Amino acid sequence: MSPNSAGRAEKIGYTNVKVYHEGLPVWSKKNFVVLSAQSLKEAYMDKDIPTVLVDVRPFAVAQKGFIKGAVTLPASDIAANIAKFPPKDKKPPIIVVDDKGGSEAANSAKSLIAAGYTGVAILTGGIDAWQAAKYPVETGNLATTIAYVPKPRPGEIAIEDFKKIASSTSANTLIIDVRSREDASLGMVKGAKVIPDMEILDRMAEIPKDRQIIAYCNTGIQAEMTYHKLKEKGYNIKFLNAKVTFDNQGNYTIEKL
């Protein structure tokens, strides 16, 4: 787990905690991740975030009940139809669905990763878990053509805009580094204030409401979590949805995931 997550685990009593320092971006280049039905609905569908949702069950089975927006492509056909997927440089979030989140989904995800896709996830528990959560399904013919049009996530700031703001000092803007203190000690944006995401709600008194707030982290994940927390409290906030890497001289590079 990440240093931030490890700290949380240790606080609630876990002792045999291991930290995966490379983080999710490195992991997802060679491995798939899992996504719960609730996360798929709340993090993507409710926020209208574009995804490639692939139902790898047999067509006759899938058409009896599938998730809205899904494209049908049986697991056995994935490897031979990689060309149907969006270009890899668009880095589409690909979510694979089978009946129970089993071998069909896992093997399909592995084929996509072998073809160079990152950010591939399988739906934990498959369509069964989705229906058990009482989320809606549709019936009839599924789409057969994969369409993916990326768009910024709510609250996302463009990388070039972030760089401009970070390169100058403005009394109207506060940049918050929401990584762990350990990560921030290895390098951070000049002038940023370190407030780990897990401490945000307890330290809101340190965050002015009359300034533009911009959050960043290693991957964009914690920064987006901070965005939603502060947005709900009425803050004018944006977040950087990208990987930020620092060297030991304080320089940094930003890469869109």
- Confidence check: pLDDT of 23 > 70: no
Q: Among candidates 251, 252, 242, which has minimal Cα distance to 156? A: 242
Q: Which residues contact 41 (CB under 8 A, 6 or more apart)?
A: 133, 135
The per-residue DSSP string of 194-248 comes to E--GGGGGG-GGGS-TTSEEEEE-SSSHHHHHHHHHHHHTT--EEE--SEEEE-T
- Confidence check: pLDDT of 82 > 60: yes
- Confidence check: pLDDT of 161 > 80: yes
Lowest mean pLDDT among 25-39, 133-147, 216-230, 234-248: 25-39
Does any domain span residue 9? no
Give yes or no: residues 126 and 168 share one domain: no
Query: What pLDDT does residue 13 have?
Result: 67
Residue that is last in its domain, among 89, 115, 132: 132
Query: What pLDDT does residue 25 have?
Result: 56
- Confidence check: pLDDT of 19 > 60: no
And the tokens for 17?
């905690």
Give the pLDDT band of residue 201 (cuts 50, 70, 90): very high
Long-range contacts, 191-197 (Cβ 8 Å, 24+):
191/166, 192/166, 192/216, 196/4, 196/222, 197/4, 197/222, 197/223, 197/225, 197/226, 197/229
Q: Residue range 22-50: average pLDDT?
A: 79
The per-residue DSSP string of 136-187 comes to --B-SPPB-S------PPTTBPPHHHHHHHHTS--TTEEEEE-S-HHHHTT-
Q: Residue range 40-62: average pLDDT?
A: 92
Does any domain span residue 3? no
Residue 142 carries which side chain, given as an amino acid letter? L
Query: What pLDDT does residue 7 have?
Result: 58
DSSP-derived 3-state class of residue 7: helix
Does any domain span residue 83? yes
Does any domain span residue 138? no
Structural domain boundaries, residue 75: 25-132
Give yes or no: residues 100 and 196 share one domain: no
Does any domain span residue 5? no
R_g (Cα) of the chain, nearest Å: 20
The mean predicted confidence, pLDDT, of the chain is 88
Give yes or no: residues 102 and 165 share one domain: no
Query: What pLDDT does residue 152 have?
Result: 81
Under a CB-based contact definition with an 8 Å cutoff, are residues 46 and 124 in contact? no
In CATH, what number is assigned to the domain containing residue 107?
A: 3.40.250.10
Residue that is last in its domain, among 132, 147, 172: 132
For tokens 């997927």, the residue is 85
- Distance separating alpha carbons of residues 182 and 134, to the nearest angstrom: 41
How many domains does the chain contain in total? 2
